[in-house]
Amino acid sequence: MAEEPQAKEGEVAEAIESQTAKVPSDVFLWAAVGAMATAFTLQFIKQKHLSLFIGQWVAPFLLFGVYNKMVKQHGHDKMDNGKVDGTG
């Protein structure tokens, strides 16, 4: 059975991946922890609405970290002149 051709990433996705791969994965983890600490502190000082707003940042920071890790491990498409993964 023939292998189906994979869709190539767009220029914007490649540019984002090349920039995000430069950021250490720890940055996203610490951003999430910082958002949790900030949200907790805001709850403690009775700033409930702001606390909930900041607390909602935790999940996106962690997702950005997962995306960052995937980009570092797999990179953007390995398509080169119609070849998948550099193999013929």
What is the number of structural domains in the chain? Answer: 1
Q: Is residue 38 part of a domain?
A: yes
pLDDT at residue 57 is higher than 80: yes
pLDDT at residue 2 is higher than 60: no
Position with higher pLDDT, 61 vs 23: 61
Q: How far apart are CA 11 and CA 30, in angstroms?
A: 29
What is the pLDDT at residue 68? 84
What is the pLDDT at residue 5? 56
pTM to 2 decimals? 0.67
The parent domain of residue 36 ranges over: 22-72
Q: Is residue 51 part of a domain?
A: yes
Q: How far apart are CA 5 and CA 50, in angstroms?
A: 47
Position with higher pLDDT, 75 vs 77: 75
